[in-house]
Amino acid sequence: MWLLALMILIMPFEASPYLYIAPNFLGVFPDFTVIKLLGLVGFAWAMMRLASGHPHGALLGSRLASLFLLFFFGVLFAGLVSGSGFLAISRYLAFLTFLPFVLMSVQTQQDLGRVLRAMALSLLIVFPYALRQMIRFNDRLGVGLYETNYFATILVLVIPLAFVFAAQATVPSRRWLWTSAGLLLGLELFLTSSRGGFLGLLVAGVVFLYRRRGLAGAVGVMAIMLLGLIIVPTDLGSRMWTVFETETAAPAGLEASNKAHTALFFAALRMIADNPIFGVGPLNFKSLSTLYTGLEQGNIAHNSFLEVAAEFGIPVFVVFVMLIFAAFHILNRATRLGASPEGRDLAGWAEGLRSGLIGFLVAGFFISAQYEKMLWLAVFVTIVLGRFAAEVRAAELAAPAGDDGLVLAPVPEPSR
């Protein structure tokens, strides 16, 4: 558990030269870093746990895990058919080794809470370093650390979790600390000036507050975020305005970006039409994009869904969509818990993950985020959350209810 938590906490620092070990590991994992080393150690430990018959091994046969394995082998097949080579597939191979590590590490509901907190804290811990890099390069937050738009997308995924922990805190000081953490993470997103990240957070916030506070809460968070475009001293407001105001000339770089996004969108559709079954192969979109866009420079699709369909083919894309829906199905069911303290905690965590994933996928319409570790960590954590939710649901149904409708926990027998 603590090895996984350590890996998550340093995950945002992966591009740091201090965590770089070698150009590759055994020719399998390129750009070998401390994080990948921890992942391999965790994988070896998980394999030993599986060999000893750990009960969480059954989770590898769950619907969500099975869909991920099917998706991986679809990517592998697409790579072999296209001749992309093993290097293009190795990124998903890393996720494959990450799956049992997560399933074996999160053994209790308390472990699950620690992992989710580590996900949020990791983006807080990196803020001072990210701010230093931002000032050093005189650019948006995330430069010198990560690509800014991807950094924003990861922030969208974890911000709702911070506010869930604030709502669940029973000690006022912790409630204020987690609320402050959520606001600080929101400030980080604004400092990235990412349009896709902002739209993702807007949708995530509306979904999250609507579920908790109704229409008034959803409208309130929209008003706060739109007000933030004016108050927070970034160029995010002007960048967002260029999306809707076509008569006003955008800055040269931003206008070129808008045109490139449009060209890549239609290029992806034509690429899918030309290769509907097997796709063009993993990581081949960028090199082939110039043939479809007419642009001099190759680029990624800037759309996770279109890039998955273009590179892996429509059948694998369908599996990818089924995988996402399976994750939402687990989270939706878990949000209905609440008759016990354990159920209320799980329901809150599921709500935070669901809102974050929705926002992440909205932002994923503007960047190719299917390779992000935090996305797959959220998916794998959802598998374990589904098991705990099923256990709590069974306990809630079996336990008698008191006069006020609350589930009465069984009284333990006195020790003799």
Q: Is residue 354 part of a domain?
A: yes
pLDDT at 198 (0 to 100): 92
Q: Which long-range contacts (CB under 8 A, 24 or more apart) does 241-247 make?
A: 243/195
Q: How far apart are CA 344 and CA 162, in angstroms?
A: 16
Q: What percent of the chain stands above pLDDT 70? A: 89
Residue bearing the bigger pLDDT, 382 or 214: 382
**What amino acid is encoded at 222 in this protein?**
M
Q: How confident is the model at residue 410 (pLDDT cuts 50, 70, 90)?
A: very low
Q: Is 63 exposed, middle or buried (0-12, 13-18, 19+ CB in 10 A)?
A: middle
Task: Calculate the CA dihedral of residues 163, 164, 166, 171 and round it to 10 degrees.
Answer: 180
Q: Is residue 137 part of a domain?
A: yes
| 33-54 mean pLDDT | 89
Token pair 């299917």 in the structure block, residue: 370
Q: How far apart are CA 57 and CA 278, in angstroms?
A: 32
pLDDT at 400 (0 to 100): 63
Is a pLDDT exceeding 70 seen at residue 159?
Answer: yes
pLDDT at 127 (0 to 100): 95
Q: How confident is the model at residue 92 (pLDDT cuts 50, 70, 90)?
A: confident
Give the tens place of pLDDT for each residue, 381-399: 999 999 999 999 888 777 6
| 154-179 mean pLDDT | 95
Of 205-219, 306-320, 329-343, highest mean pLDDT: 306-320
Q: Is residue 47 part of a domain?
A: yes
Q: Is residue 61 part of a domain?
A: yes
Q: Is residue 403 part of a domain?
A: no
Q: Is residue 412 part of a domain?
A: no
Number of domains present in the structure of the chain: 1
Q: Is residue 108 part of a domain?
A: yes
pLDDT at 253 (0 to 100): 55
Asked which of 166-175, 190-199, 212-221, 234-243 is least confident by mean pLDDT, the reply is: 234-243
Q: Is residue 223 part of a domain?
A: yes
Domain with 241 in it: 2-397
